[in-house]
Chains A and B, each alone.
Chain A
Amino acid sequence: MPESTTETTGVDIELIDVVKRYPGQKRAAVESLSLHIPAGEIVMFVGPSGCGKTTSLKMINRLIEPTSGTIRIGGEEVGRQHDDDLRRRIGYVIQGGSLFPHMTVTQNIALVPGLLGWDRRRTAERVDELLELVGLDPARYRNRYPRELSGGQQQRVGVARGLAADPPVILMDEPFGAVDPITRQRLQDELLSIQEELRKTIVCVTHDFDEAVKLGDRILILTEGAKIAQYDVPEAILANPADRFVADFVGAGAALKQLTLSRVSEIELGRRTVGEIGAKAADVLRAAQAADDDCIVVLDAKRRPVNWLWTRDLLDLDRIPAPRDDTDLVTIDRRATLNDALDLMLVSSHGSAVVTGRRDEYLGVVDFQAVLTRIQETHDEHNPTPEVVA
């Protein structure tokens, strides 16, 4: 089993002229789909219902047999492999988790390792490892039955089950469709951080374009008959929709949606004068005046930001005090999207948010201007200034 590394453990997937025609139906469900999915990327299949996106997904693990065409995973043709063997090497995650209600969490996750003939100890270790990975305490949840879990927890176990045998490719069919919006957002964030670690090839069907933008390294937009309307990185689709259909599908506010593409870590953070609790106020004040800051960030002993202080308030102080309870400091993780950052800044009276890194350590601050600059940059990248025609 590969150790948890950041190298790509996924393999690429290739679809060549794949057709699915159901007997008795005039139009093919999938008309000649050709597609290359690079290793280690998340590719989102989106499109209106009935466009053939789920059919296309299920042809990859042969839950649906294509009428004609070739599908290769890591260069190997899937049609030549035994279907059960093939599927044991492809993770499969479905809406709501689809856990087997009569099996415990452990039994659900251990199913594929069991089919592959893993020994008991290795399986047990793997189950615990996966539960940790999806943020569930193994000791607490290992022996529960699905009905004893919330919807979000069931979905987490569903993801763990899909990852169980460490497959290079994972197929997801509307994985987060059945949970409430807040849980969905958290699950999406978790999937992204898991993917950061594992670098699998993930193919995910969704009807939610915003989810596609958030999760996808690439987005495949399909129209009826699984014809490709556009297949590109999300930035490009938002900036340059290929046609009316895509533009309609992307919907209003494409520029705003770009905010969910950039992470706080991508913009240059502003520096502010900082002062640890207990430091001499006069020293901090001098530093702040030198840097021309009108307020400072108060850090605790572990360099975690705890408070804002106006420099004018420092005049009356001897040492930097511990914060009162009603501090208006807002912090944001460096992995958060600019969308989240803007949201936070709007509620903060300081018009900026403090960015934290690992273990909530202080990194810097982000303000409106920095976000605006970043938006401008992405816009320019994908919309080259049109040349003036004489």
Chain B
Amino acid sequence: MSVLDTKPPAGIADAKAAAASLASSQHRRPSLGLMIGQPLSVVVVLAAWAIWRSQAELDSIEQRQLDWGLLGRLTVEHLKLTVVATVIVLAVAVPLGIALTRPRLRRAAPIVVAVANAGQAAPVIGLIVLLAIWLGFGFWTAILALCLYAILPVLRNTIVGLQGVDRTLVEAGRGMGMSNRSVLGRIELPLAVPVIMAGIRTALVLVVGTATLATFIDAGGLGSLITTGIRLLRYPVLISGAILVAALALLIDWAGRVLEEITRPRGLG
């Protein structure tokens, strides 16, 4: 801040402008350090790890486990689990959240949120194993477990975001002759987007971390490096797995943040 800013505003107009800029700054944009620093530090760590990997002396098991091709495949599997689960969560939770804020279903909202809450409160490892016993091992069982686990933040944020839209704006829209559907699409959802997107980012981060457990039911992912590392007492494999999972989670979190910024409607500050 410059010295000029310490002077009192010259007039009422200035004071109002100052107040307006204060009000608009309530939405703190993620700092540049976070937006650039986070991916940058992840890249640095990954690069350091890659250099170590190409120079370290590894025994045959370690070499097989840390084979570049295998690592690539595991990463793709992990991403696939994350993306598919998140897409399904979105497809279910957002429409469900919208439905639960409409007058007809509004009363059911607390019950559904309670159920979703139970999904998140249950330990994922237990959930995954139980579902696997019931539905068999494999990719789709893991997806189901991840979805149950991650549905709550998106559902809750969709409901909260829509409920948070100023009622007078909704009434203004209706009073001007917009249909219910068009009020939802053109006023309620755009205004709720920041809150909904925050829920989606939370879900993404939950899923990318939890997908590590998919390996227990043979659904792949980077988790297999960690379990193998533990089972065979191969620390290079174990630590590599941990580093890769953490890096991936941080990158996904960053991507979610970028998405939040991009989708935030202009005019909301």
Contacts and interface: CB of A to CB of B under 8 A. Distances in A.
Interface of A: 58, 61, 63, 84-90, 92, 94-95, 98, 100-104, 111-112, 115, 145-148, 150-151, 161, 171
A101 B191 contact: yes
B179 interface: yes
Contacts of A161: 176
Interface stretch (B40-48, B103-111, B145-153, B165-173): B165-173
B160 interface: no
A102 B190 contact: yes
Interface stretch (B81-89, B113-121, B261-269): B261-269
A128 B265 CA distance: 24
A98 B266 contact: no
Nearest to B16: A150
B175 A63 contact: yes
Given A88-B176, A151-B16, 5 more contacts: A98-B169, A98-B172, A100-B173, A112-B177, A150-B16
Contact of B178 (A58, A61, A111, A147): A111
A94 B172 contact: yes
Nearest to A95: B168
Interface of B: 13, 16, 20, 23-24, 166, 168-169, 171-179, 182, 187, 190-191, 265-269
A92 B191 contact: no
B177 A102 contact: no
Contacts of B20: 147-148, 150
B175 A61 contact: yes
B265 A102 contact: yes
A171 B171 CA distance: 13
B174 A102 contact: no
Chain B's interface: helix, strand, loop or mixed, by majority? helix
Nearest to B172: A98
Contacts of A63: 171, 174-175
Contact of A147 (B13, B173, B182, B267): B267
Given A86-B177, A102-B191, A146 B172 contact: no
B175 A94 contact: yes
B21 to A, nearest CB: 10
B179 A84 contact: yes
A366 to B, nearest CB: 31
B177 A87 contact: yes
Given A63-B171, A101-B191, A146 B177 contact: no
Contacts of B23: 147
Given A102-B267, A146-B267, A147-B23, A112 B176 contact: yes
27 contacts: A63-B174, A84-B177, A85-B177, A87-B176, A87-B177, A88-B177, A92-B175, A94-B171, A95-B168, A98-B166, A100-B172, A101-B267, A101-B268, A102-B191, A102-B266, A104-B267, A111-B176, A112-B176, A115-B176, A115-B182, A145-B267, A147-B23, A147-B268, A148-B20, A150-B13, A151-B16, A171-B175
A159 to B, nearest CB: 13
Q: Which of A85, A111, A146 has the most CB of B within 10 A?
A: A111
A1 B15 CA distance: 41
Contact of B187 (A61, A100, A146): A100
Nearest to B179: A84
B168 A98 contact: yes
Nearest to B187: A100
A161 B24 CA distance: 24
A56 to B, nearest CB: 15
Contacts of A94: 168, 171-172, 175
